[in-house]
Amino acid sequence: LHQLVTVLRDRADWPPAPPSAARPALPAPPDLHDVRGQTLGRRAIEVAAAGRHHLLMIGPPGSGKTMLAERIGGLLPPLTTAEALTVARIHSAAGCAQSDGELLERPPFRAPHHQASIVSLVGGGSWSLRPGEVSLATNGILFLDELGEFPVAALEALRQPLEEGVIRVSRAGGTVTFPAEFLLVAAMNPCPCGEGVYEGACTCSAVTRARYRRRISAPLLDRFDLVVPLSRPDPDELLAGAPGEASATVARRVAGVRTAALERAAELELAPDASSLLASKLRAGGLSARGLHKVTRVARTVAALAGADAVSFAHTTEALSLRAGRAAVVT
Amino acid sequence: VSAVGAPDLPAEAFAVALASLPSMGPARLRTLLAAEPPDRAWERASRGGTTSRRDVARLWQRHTSLGIAVLLAGGPAYPERLADDPQAPAVLFCLGDPARLGTAPTAAIVGTRAPTRYGIGVAAQFGADLAAAGVSVVSGLALGIDAAAHEGACGAGAPPIAVVAGGLDHPYPRRHERLWERVASSGVIVSESPAGAPTEKWRFPVRNRLLAALSDVVVVVESRHQGGSRHTVDAAIARGISVGAVPGSIRSTTSEGTNALLADGAFPVCSTADILVALALSGASVAGPPHAGRAAPSPEPPRGIERLVYDSLTTDPSSLDELVRVTGIDLPQLCGSLERLAQAGLAHDAGGWWGRV
């Protein structure tokens, strides 16, 4: 107390702050190391993390969609102080801040269930307007498992935050704008029976399939830069395959792209054979103008991850493969 | 009494009115018309009902203005091949020239409404080759295999024949409106349902029976375990019409039905020539297999890494993960090679799954 009085009377400087206690070791996100096989799936989450590309994974039950989604957090760089403060503000507004007042270090990972109410997803409430899951996922990941099971209204409500990075919640009591800037990761079965990854494997009727596909509107589907078809891993590989790259290795590549190269990536030129490939796809009707833009963006991220100076033919074809899953949900 | 009101109505008009009565199925219609001429049968059946002679005239006028020909069993235009059928339709509605039902040997090409690329390709090829060989392709204008077969057959050659379940005033399914018109102009569409009849469920198996009866041979391209093609096959077997099936992958649900048919003794159909041989055996006179040298010159074999990728592809599509594992090539290089193979027409992409062409 004596020390405090002296300081307040301006007779001494503030003593140095005590070193903050070691941050509580948050349970680390699961490691990519455990994922065997799944070359395409691993690649997809790496590209999603590096280029902030929204990702939709389409695969039968047991193809590792949830496993991969849970590992994206480990590939993102830790939050900066400014980001962590934003996250803390939102979390405290929602009444679910860290109890010890510590800042989060890892990007938040929110995985609302498909039966969650629309208010809990986008925010709202009857007397105090609280942020919803889309805001709680700011600077982190919003994971929607079983995308096809979410109410259509909830999915359509995602379009504003995906476009503007904010969500406006209007109620009789007033309007509040919450930040909602997240990486959207979604997973779904290719059809109700779950087996229709490639033609001939599915037992659903044509009508059931069409009804299931209609649940994901074309504008929503367009928000996903990456639409990846996943398949069940080969049993041999699952049991005896070599473990894949660890999260730390991939995270280093991702961090490299996200810091300096991200601005540079936007300026990467397309190699002549790459642009003529895209032109031919465009002419053949296999690609829309919007699709072209998306593929180019993804191809640039792929090239930046490889440390290349230009977007090559192979980068472009890889980007095309990373959205080939659209065929399973577009009629 | 019968002459009052509309003295100039033909017998067909009463047959149309009779067929348009609610809950009038083909079996009842056949019994009624076998016993009495149409005008008297109609009078008896509509007694106590609300339909009048004016309704008969209106229905008749509707059919003639739509260009729908009405054929009565035993009439001059009635197709000869149906004359001895145990379940021959008493009244047949036609869009297009009814004479086209009897000009050429006929082969039915039927299958699932949700086919794979393989099934669509095969059905379209058979359709085109059969039409060129002078064989009328019979199908149901349904989604999938039926439509693919007729798309192929509408080009040139023998007139295509479509057998549909609903009335001829509304194309069904709606998606096939243009194909419907093409078949009606180059061939003929037949139905047992009068114009205005709702497309009810029971009409489809009934249609499949007529489809089989109009064919010299029935070929199933792709079908599921319990598909509607089964009705057509059963009707064909009951009539002693030979049934062929196109073999498919044992991993494809769309080939379960056809592979089971092969196990049950259907003849395997691996080319158009197989169908033509079956037609010749069934007594139809066919021109012979289409000239075999029609295939495109085989493309140049791939080299280097693409050769390796090509060799690991099968006609059953594989996932990229599988290809990475089998070839040991990394993802970007693999994607590039696959795209080059696709450009050379050697590989095809089925939603991220790759197969050999």
Q: Look up residue A71 and give its DSSP letter.
A: T
Minimum distance, in Å, between the CA of residue A295 and any CA atom of chain B: 14
How long is chain B? 357
Q: CB B353 to CB A233 under 8 A?
A: no
* A138 neighbors A182 (Cβ within 8 angstroms): yes
Residues 6+ apart with CB under 8 A from A137: A108, A109, A110, A180, A182
Question: Do B350 and A327 count as a contact with CB atoms less than 8 A apart?
Answer: yes
Chain B residues near residue A201 by CB distance under 8 angstroms = 251-253
Nearest to B114 among A39, A206, A229 (CB): A206
Neighbours of B178 (CB within 10 A): 9
pLDDT at B123: 92
Q: Are A298 and A257 in contact (CB under 8 A)?
A: no
Sign of CA dihedral B146, B151, B153, B159: positive
Residues 242-281 of B with CB under 8 A from A: 248-249, 251-255
**Residue A80 DSSP class:** P
What does the mean pLDDT of chain A come to?
A: 81
Strands B161-164 and B136-139: parallel
Q: What is the pLDDT of residue B7?
A: 57
Q: What is the pLDDT of residues A24-67, one digit of tens each?
A: 445 667 888 777 778 888 899 999 988 889 999 988 888 888 88
Dist. CA A305–CA A254, nearest whole Å: 7
Tokens of A223: 């928000």
Q: How far is B157 from chain A (nearest CA, A)?
A: 30
Cβ of B336 and A325 within 8 Å? no
Expressed in angstroms, the distance from the first to the final Cα of chain A is 74
CB contact (8 A) between residue B332 and residue A199:
no
Backbone dihedral region of B135: left (phi > 0), alpha (psi from -120 to 50 degrees) or beta? beta
What per-residue confidence (pLDDT) applies to B110? 94
Instruction: Tell me whether residues B336 and A199 touch, CB distance under 8 A.
Output: no
Q: Is A47 helix (H, G, I), strand (E, B) or coil?
A: helix
CA distance B160 to B172: 17
pLDDT of residue B357: 77
How many Cβ atoms sit within 10 Å of the Cβ of residue B121?
A: 15
In angstroms, what separates the C-alpha of A198 from chain B's closest C-alpha?
A: 7
pLDDT band at A262 (very low <50, low <70, confident <90, very high): low
B116–chain A nearest CA distance, Å? 6
Please report residues of A whose CB lies closer than 8 A to that of B252: 199-201
**CA of A303: which chain B residue's CA is closest?**
B332
Cβ neighbours for B351, distance < 8 A, ≥ 6 positions apart: A197, A198, A199, A229, A324, A325, A326, A327, A328
pLDDT at B275: 92
Dihedral, A185, A188, A190, A195 alpha carbons, nearest 10: 120
B177 at interface of A, judged by CB pairs closer than 8 A: no
Q: Min CA distance, A202 vs chain B (Å)?
A: 7
Nearest residue to B255 via CA among B107, B116, B110 = B116
Residue of chain B whose Cα is closest to the Cα of A316? B336
Q: Note the pLDDT tens digit of each residue in A98-115.
A: 656 667 778 888 889 988
Band (A211; pLDDT cuts 50, 70, 90)? confident
ipTM: 0.78
Nearest chain A CA: its distance from B3 CA (Å): 51
Stated as kind and residue range, the H or E segment containing A131 is strand A130-131
Per-residue pLDDT of chain B (357 residues; tens, 9 = 90+): 344 445 578 888 888 888 888 778 888 888 888 888 888 888 888 777 767 778 888 888 899 898 899 998 888 889 888 888 888 899 999 998 888 888 789 999 999 988 888 888 899 999 999 998 889 999 999 988 999 999 989 887 889 999 999 888 888 888 888 899 999 999 999 999 998 888 788 888 889 999 999 999 999 999 988 777 888 999 999 999 999 999 998 888 889 999 999 999 999 999 999 999 898 877 776 665 555 444 445 556 677 888 888 888 887 778 888 888 888 888 888 998 998 888 888 888 877 888 887
B175 to chain A, any CB pair closer than 8 A? The answer is no
Distance from CA of A167 to the nearest CA of B (A): 34
Structure tokens at B345: 């027409």
Contact between A200 and B252 using a beta-carbon 8 Å cutoff: yes
Which residues, in sequence order, are CB contacts of B15 under 8 Å at separation 6+?
B33, B38, B42, B70, B72, B90, B91
pLDDT surpassing 70 at residue A191: yes
Contacts of B354 in chain A (CB under 8 A): none
pLDDT at A97: 63
Q: How far is CA A279 from the centre of its chain?
A: 29
Residue A261: pLDDT band by 50, 70, 90 thresholds? Answer: low
CB contact under 8 A, A314 and B336: yes
Is pLDDT at A222 greater than 90 in this prediction?
Answer: no
pLDDT of res. A44 = 92
- Partner-chain residue, chosen from B248, B253, B352, that has the shortest CB–CB distance to A201: B253
Cβ pair B193, B166 in contact under 8 A:
yes
| Token pair of B146 as six digits | 């039926």
pLDDT score recorded for residue B263:
93
Contact assignment for A314 to B335 by CB distance below 8 Å: yes
DSSP conformation letters of A274-329? HHHHHHHHHHTTSS-HHHHHHHHHHHHHHHHHTT-SEE-HHHHHHHHHTTTTHHHH
Q: Which of A198, A208, A278 to mutate to test the interface with B (most CBs of B within 10 A)?
A: A198
C-alpha of A122 from chain center = 17
User: What distance in Å separates residue B356's CA from the closest CA in chain A?
Assistant: 14
Interface test with B, best of A40, A199, A204, A323 (most B CBs within 10 A): A199
Of the residues A43, A195, A204, A318, the best mutation for testing chain B's interface (the one with the most B CB atoms within 10 Å of its CB) is: A318
Q: 């794979």: which residue's tokens? A: B116
pLDDT at position A8, please?
78
Please tell me which of the candidates A203, A229, A302 has its beta carbon nearest to residue B352: A229
* Residue that wins the pLDDT comparison between B63 and A94: B63
SS3 per residue for chain B: CCCCCCCCCCHHHHHHHHHHCCCCCHHHHHHHHHHCCHHHHHHHHHCCCCCCHHHHHHHHHHHHHCCEEEEECCCCCCCHHHCCCCCCCCEEEEEECHHHHCCCCEEEEECCCCCCHHHHHHHHHHHHHHHHCCCEEEECCCCCHHHHHHHHHCCCCCCCEEEECCCCCCCCCHHHHHHHHHHHHHCEEEECCCCCCCCCCCHHHHHHHHHHHCCCEEEECCCCCCCCHHHHHHHHHHCCCEEEECCCCCCCHHHHHHHHHHHCCCEECCCHHHHHHHHHHCCCCCCCCCCHHHCCCCCCCCCHHHHHHHHHCCCCCEEHHHHHHHHCCCHHHHHHHHHHHHHCCCEEEECCEEEEC
Q: Hey, which residues does A324 pair with through a beta bridge? A: none
* pTM, rounded to two decimals: 0.68
Buried b (16+ CB within 10 A) or exposed e, B54-67: eebbebbebbeeee
B191 inside 8 A of chain A by CB: no
CA distance B234 to chain A (A): 22
Which residues does A contribute to its contact with B (CB < 8 Å)? 37-41, 43, 197-203, 205-206, 209, 228-229, 231, 233-234, 237, 277, 302, 306, 312-315, 317-318, 320-321, 324-328
Query: Distance between CA A294 and CA A56 in Å, rounded?
Result: 14
Which of A20-34, A229-243, A294-308, B203-217 bottoms out in mean pLDDT, i.e. has the lowest?
A: A20-34
- DSSP character for A57? E
> Phi, psi at residue B189, to the nearest 5°?
-115, 130
pLDDT at B147: 92
